[in-house]
């Protein structure tokens, strides 16, 4: 990212005083602060992460935990519907209890946030690491190796992510920690798009004078990648990673909803939706709360990812702005 000089008010007044060039981090923060939607989304994401990290403290304040059953709080004669108003909301159970089990709903929601966000972020890190490794390797390798890695990437991109994840999770050991397993599987089958982006950028950067000079001077491929390519690849990789997180949250929720993701009693939002889909009339909050949190999280991460892309590369048109421009054109 190029560094632009920041001119003070005194310089504009004719004193000739010019401040030092703004760093890339300062430019990024300034561009991000100029986007109110991205700032609001960042606040929402920060709040959700804080709730997930503080889940043990919050549940301790409530006096509950996500796994304890309370059969006395549900009406067994009506199939396990929570007793009381609004699903049993009160001082002891802030958001009520689950149908049939009587487990505290607030505790399961905040602990479910830890699982859903943790799986999504971990899977994204695995995808970025593998995509960088394969993409840079293909871009710097000879023609034969590039063809092999590119065809492998095409195969990975063509495979249906959810179906392949379901197949791998079905044959995985049942005693392995399920959140770690889900994050690893989603990361292992979803790196192809990152690799294609990185390879294309690497082929472009390889033609630049300073990279060509480094290679001609005898630097090895690893040193060229570490010293010359990775700093230039940071912006597109971070941008794409920010957009991958909401996708991975949706994938984790879908896998848990289909019964192949996180297993009970460990809570996750997708797993809660699996058992909540039959309670939307008797206990609607049991369905609305996890689905609402999932919707807000994906929306906030998507808007934040778009803002990060615009802040890192202001020349790239925002997808949201492009949509608004098209609508304006239709009206006119």
What pLDDT sits at residue 10?
36
Q: Tell me the pLDDT band of 5, cut-offs 50, 70 and 90.
A: very low
pLDDT, tens digit, 9 for 90 and up, residues 41-76: 999 999 999 999 999 999 999 999 998 898 888 888
What pLDDT sits at residue 331?
52
Q: Tell me the pLDDT band of 23, cut-offs 50, 70 and 90.
A: low
Give percent of the chain with pLDDT exceeding 70.
87
How high does pLDDT run on average in the chain? 83
- Greatest mean pLDDT among 12-16, 42-46, 282-286 lies in 42-46
Task: Give the SS3 label for residue 5.
Answer: strand
Residue 82 burial (CB count, 10 A): 28
Q: What is the pTM of this model?
A: 0.80
Q: Tell me the pLDDT band of 200, cut-offs 50, 70 and 90.
A: very high
With a cut of 90, say whether residue 12 has pLDDT above it: no
- Between the alpha carbon of residue 195 and those of residues 82, 143, 148, the distances in Å are 49, 16, 13
For residue 167, with 0-12 CB atoms within 10 Å meaning exposed, 13-18 middle and 19 or more buried, which class applies? middle
- Averaged pLDDT for residues 267-275: 85
With a cut of 80, say whether residue 329 has pLDDT above it: no
Q: Tell me the pLDDT band of 1, cut-offs 50, 70 and 90.
A: very low
Q: Tell me the pLDDT band of 325, cut-offs 50, 70 and 90.
A: low
- Between the alpha carbon of residue 93 and those of residues 55, 108, 130, 235, the distances in Å are 15, 11, 43, 45
Residue 152 and residue 144: Cα distance in Å, rounded?
A: 13
pLDDT, tens digit, 9 for 90 and up, residues 295-322: 999 999 999 988 888 888 766 554 445 5
Residue 40 and residue 47: Cα distance in Å, rounded?
A: 11
- Between the alpha carbon of residue 196 and those of residues 128, 137, 145, 190, the distances in Å are 11, 11, 15, 12
What pLDDT sits at residue 56?
94
Q: Tell me the pLDDT band of 112, cut-offs 50, 70 and 90.
A: very high
Residue 125 and residue 184: Cα distance in Å, rounded?
A: 10
**Torsion (CA) 304, 306, 311, 314 in degrees, nearest 10:** -160
With a cut of 60, say whether residue 81 has pLDDT above it: yes
Contact assessment for residue 247 and residue 194, using Cβ atoms and an 8 Å cutoff: no
What pLDDT sits at residue 315?
64
- Between the alpha carbon of residue 39 and those of residues 34, 236, 309, the distances in Å are 8, 20, 13
Angle at 108 between CA 64 and CA 250, to 5 degrees: 165
With a cut of 90, say whether residue 29 has pLDDT above it: no
**Looking at residue 97, what DSSP letter applies?**
B
Task: Report the helix count and the strand count for the chain, using DSSP H and E.
Answer: 15, 4
Contact assessment for residue 149 and residue 198, using Cβ atoms and an 8 Å cutoff: no
Q: List b or e across 227-237, with b for residues whose CB sees 16 or more CB atoms inside 10 angstroms.
A: ebbeebbebbb
Q: How many residues does the chain have?
A: 332
Residue 151 burial (CB count, 10 A): 11
pLDDT, tens digit, 9 for 90 and up, residues 114-169: 999 999 999 999 999 999 999 999 998 888 999 999 999 999 998 888 888 888 88
Residue 164 and residue 200: Cα distance in Å, rounded?
A: 26
What pLDDT sits at residue 16?
36
């Amino acid at each position: 990212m190029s560094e632009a000089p920041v001119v003070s008010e005194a310089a504009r007044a004719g004193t000739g005083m010019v401040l030092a060039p703004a760093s890339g981090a300062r430019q990024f923060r300034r561009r991000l602060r100029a986007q109110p939607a991205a700032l609001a989304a960042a606040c929402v994401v920060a709040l959700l992460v804080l709730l997930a990290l503080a889940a043990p403290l919050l549940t301790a304040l409530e006096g509950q935990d996500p796994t304890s059953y309370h059969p006395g709080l549900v009406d067994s004669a009506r199939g396990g519907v929570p007793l009381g108003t609004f699903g049993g909301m009160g001082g002891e159970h802030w958001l009520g209890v689950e149908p049939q089990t009587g487990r505290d709903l607030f505790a399961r929601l905040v602990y479910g946030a830890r699982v859903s966000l943790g799986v999504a972020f971990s899977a994204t890190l695995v995808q970025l690491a593998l995509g960088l490794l394969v993409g840079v390797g293909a871009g710097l390798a000879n023609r034969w190796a590039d063809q092999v890695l590119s065809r492998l990437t095409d195969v990975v991109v063509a495979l249906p992510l959810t179906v392949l994840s379901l197949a791998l999770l079905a044959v995985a050991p049942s005693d392995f920690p399920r959140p770690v397993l889900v994050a690893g599987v989603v990361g292992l089958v979803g790196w192809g798009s990152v690799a294609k982006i990185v390879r294309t950028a690497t082929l472009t950067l390889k033609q630049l004078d300073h990279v060509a000079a480094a290679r001609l001077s005898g630097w090895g491929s690893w040193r060229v990648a570490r010293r010359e390519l990775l700093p230039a690849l940071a912006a597109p990789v971070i941008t794409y990673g920010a957009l991958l997180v909401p996708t991975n949250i949706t994938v984790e929720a879908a896998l848990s909803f289909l019964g192949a993701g996180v297993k009970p009693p460990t809570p996750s939002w997708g797993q809660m939706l699996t058992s909540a889909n039959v309670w939307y009339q008797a206990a609607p909050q049991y369905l609305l709360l996890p689905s609402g949190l999932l919707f807000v999280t994906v929306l906030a991460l998507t808007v934040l990812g778009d803002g990060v892309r615009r802040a890192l590369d202001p020349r790239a048109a925002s997808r949201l702005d492009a949509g608004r421009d098209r609508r304006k054109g239709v009206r006119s």
